[in-house]
C-alpha cells in the first residue's frame, strides 16, 4: 500500500498555561510563566518547592462524577484534552469506529494513585486498598478511557518512553495512518506526576531545580540552569489521513511530515556524550520531511534546563543541521514556561510547532539571561518573534536513551 499523508485536524490542551488551546497558545507567545509553588501536597519534607501545575481544572466538564472518582488525574487530563480535540475536529459521525484509534503517551501513569493506595496499604492494611487501584494506576488507562468515550475501536495503546512518550505516541500514530492501518487517531500525552514520592525521586537523582523563585527556576540553555521543574497536563491531536480529512471538509492545521525515533543505547538517565541518538532522530525526521537547505527551520527543543541535556542537545542540533545552518535556526524551549510535563511534554511541544507554523510566531525561551559557551545558538530569548517558518521540528529525549523528533509543515 502506498504511503498516505497525515494531517492535524483537531487540537486540545490542559496545561499549566491554560485549559484550552487558545489560552495555552496565547500564554506561550506572551512568554507567560506557568511555574509556581506546589499546592498539591505539603512540600516541607522535600527540597523542590515549585511545579508547573494545572489550575482550575474541573474533570466534570468532561466526565461523570463516578468516572472522575474512578480515574487518576492523568487520565482525567487525557479525556479533557481529547474531548477538546475531537470537538475541534468535528470528526464524530464522520469516521468509521473500526478505523479510529487512540495513542496517548504517559511516562509514569497513575503515580498519584499508586502513592495514595500504597500509603493506605502500609498504614491501614490491604483491605483498605481501593478495588480501582490497578485500573487507575496503569499507564494505558488514559488511552482506554478516551477510546471508550469516543468509540475508538482501532489500535488503542500508550507510548511509555519516559519524557519522549508524547512524541512517540504521535509519531507511531502517524505511521499507523500513513501505512493504512487507521484513518484517524487521537494522539498525544498526559501526565500528573506532582506528588511527594515522584518529586522526592527526581530530587534524589539530582534532576530537579531547588530554586524557590519561579522566575529563576526553569532556565533552559542559561548558564545558571540547575535542573528541571516538574509539570503536568495533557495535549491531544487528532491525526487524520489527508484525503479522508479533505473529503469531509475538515479544518487542517498542518501536516506531520516526518518522524525519527532512536535509542542512545548508552545509559539509563544520561544522554550519549556525542549526542548520537538525538542527532540521528533529527536527521531521520528531516529526511522524511524532505528537508532542504533553504528551509526556514524552527526547533522546539527538549531543553529541560539540566546542565548536561541542554549542552548535548545543542550539539545534536549542530550535527543534524550542520554548524552554519544551526546558527541560522530558531530554537526555543517552551519548558521555560510550562515546566517539564514528562510524558505530555512532546505533545504540548508538538502543539507549539503546529501553531508556530500556522500563525507565523515562534514562542520564546523565557528567563534566558546568562550566556553559556556550550549553548551558543539562537534560543529566541525572552520574547516571541514573528517568522514564517517552513519546517518545525519537535525534539524529545527520555530516560532510557529514548529519542524522538517530529517534523511538521504547513499545508
Per-residue pLDDT of 208-224, as tens digits, reads: 999 999 999 999 999 99
Mean pLDDT score across all residues of the chain: 98
Q: pLDDT band at 3, cuts 50/70/90?
A: confident
Beta carbons within 10 angstroms of residue 373's beta carbon: 7
Q: What is the pLDDT of residue 39?
A: 98
Tell me the mean pLDDT in the region 109-129.
Answer: 98
Domains of the chain as residue ranges with CATH: 7-247 (3.40.47.10), 256-409 (3.40.47.10)
Statement: residue 227 has pLDDT above 70: yes
Instruction: Dig out the grid coordinates for 92 from the structure.
Output: 464524530
Per-residue pLDDT tens digits for 362-375:
999 999 999 999 99
- 20-23: Cβ within 8 A, 24+ apart: 20/84, 21/84, 21/88, 21/351, 21/355
- Stretch 325-334: mean pLDDT, rounded? 98
Residues 265-308 pLDDT 10s: 999 999 999 999 999 999 999 999 999 999 999 999 999 999 99
Instruction: Evaluate if residue 104 carries a pLDDT over 60.
Output: yes
Tell me, what's the pLDDT at 207? 97
What is the 3-state composition of the chain as percent helix, strand, coil, each rounded to the nearest 5?
A: 40, 20, 40
**Mean pLDDT within 71-91:** 98
Q: What is the pTM of this model?
A: 0.98
pLDDT higher than 70, residue 114:
yes
C-alpha span between 354 and 235 (Å, rounded):
12
Catalytic positions are 163, 302, 340
pLDDT (0 to 100) of residue 370:
97
According to the model, what pLDDT value does residue 1 have?
47
Distance CA 118, CA 134 (A): 11
Would you say residue 2 has pLDDT above 90? no
What is the rounded average pLDDT of the residues 3-31?
97
- Cβ atoms within 10 Å, residue 183: 23
The string of pLDDT tens digits covering residues 347-360 is 999 999 999 999 99
Nearest Cα to 341, choosing from 166, 207, 160? Answer: 166
Per-residue pLDDT reduced to its tens digit, 395-407: 999 999 999 999 9
Q: Which three cell numbers stand for residue 39?
A: 499546592
Which cell numbers in the block locate residue 378?
A: 539562537
Kindly state the percentage of the chain with pLDDT values over 90.
99
Closest residue by Cα to residue 233 from 139, 110, 84, 341: 341
Closest listed residue to residue 353, CA positions, set 280, 312, 410: 410
- What is the CA 301 to chain-centroid distance, rounded? 11
Tell me the C-alpha distance between 193 and 274, whole Å.
30
Mean pLDDT confidence for 42-71: 98
**Cβ-count burial of 307 within 10 angstroms (0-12 exposed, 13-18 middle, 19+ buried)?**
middle
How does residue 123 score in pLDDT terms, banded at 50, 70 and 90? very high
Amino acid at each position: 500500500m502506498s504511503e498516505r499523508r497525515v494531517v492535524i485536524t483537531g487540537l486540545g490542551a490542559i496545561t499549566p498555561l491554560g485549559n484550552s488551546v487558545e489560552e495555552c497558545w496565547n500564554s506561550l507567545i506572551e512568554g507567560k510563566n506557568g511555574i509556581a509553588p506546589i499546592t498539591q501536597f505539603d512540600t516541607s519534607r522535600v527540597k523542590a518547592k515549585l511545579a508547573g501545575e494545572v489550575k482550575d481544572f474541573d474533570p466534570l466538564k468532561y466526565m461523570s462524577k463516578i468516572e472522575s472518582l474512578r480515574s487518576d488525574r492523568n487520565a482525567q487530563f487525557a479525556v479533557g484534552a481529547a474531548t477538546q480535540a475531537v470537538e475541534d475536529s468535528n470528526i464524530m459521525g464522520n469516521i468509521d469506529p473500526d478505523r479510529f484509534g487512540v495513542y496517548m503517551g504517559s511516562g509514569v501513569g497513575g503515580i498519584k494513585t499508586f502513592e495514595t493506595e500504597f500509603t493506605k496499604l502500609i498504614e491501614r492494611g490491604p483491605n483498605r486498598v481501593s478495588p480501582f487501584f490497578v485500573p487507575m494506576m496503569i499507564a494505558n488507562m488514559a488511552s482506554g478511557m478516551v477510546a471508550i468515550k469516543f468509540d475508538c475501536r482501532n489500535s488503542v495503546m500508550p507510548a511509555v518512553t519516559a519524557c519522549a512518550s508524547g512524541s512517540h505516541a504521535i509519531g507511531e500514530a502517524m505511521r499507523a495512518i500513513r501505512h493504512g492501518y487507521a484513518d484517524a487517531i487521537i494522539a498525544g500525552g498526559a501526565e500528573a506526576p506532582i506528588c511527594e514520592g515522584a518529586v522526592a525521586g527526581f530530587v534524589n537523582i539530582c534532576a530537579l531545580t531547588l530554586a524557590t523563585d519561579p522566575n529563576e527556576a526553569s532556565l533552559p540553555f542559561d548558564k545558571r540552569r540547575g535542573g528541571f521543574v516538574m509539570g503536568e497536563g495533557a495535549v491531544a491531536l487528532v491525526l487524520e489521513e489527508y484525503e479522508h480529512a479533505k473529503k469531509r471538509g475538515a479544518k487542517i492545521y498542518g501536516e506531520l511530515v516526518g518522524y525519527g525515533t532512536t535509542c542512545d543505547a548508552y545509559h539509563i538517565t544520561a544522554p550519549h556524550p556525542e549526542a548520537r541518538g538525538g542527532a540521528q532522530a533529527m536527521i531521520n525526521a528531516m529526511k522524511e520531511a524532505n528537508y532542504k537547505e533553504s528551509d526556514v527551520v524552527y526547533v522546539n527543543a527538549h531543553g529541560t534546563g539540566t546542565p548536561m541535556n541542554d549542552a548535548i542537545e545543542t550539539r545534536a542540533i549542530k550535527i543534524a543541521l550542520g554548524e552554519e545552518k544551526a546558527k541560522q535556526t530558531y530554537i526555543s524551549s517552551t519548558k521555560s514556561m510550562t515546566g517539564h510535563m514528562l510524558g505530555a511534554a512532546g505533545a504540548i511541544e508538538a502543539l507549539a510547532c503546529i501553531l508556530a507554523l500556522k500563525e507565523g510566531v515562534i514562542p520564546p525561551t523565557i528567563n534566558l539571561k546568562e550566556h553559556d559557551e556550550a549553548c551558543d545558538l539562537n534560543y529566541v530569548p525572552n520574547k516571541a518573534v514573528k517568522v514564517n517558518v517552513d519546517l518545525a521540528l519537535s525534539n524529545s529525549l527520555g530516560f532510557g536513551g529514548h529519542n524522538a523528533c517530529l517534523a511538521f509543515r504547513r499545508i
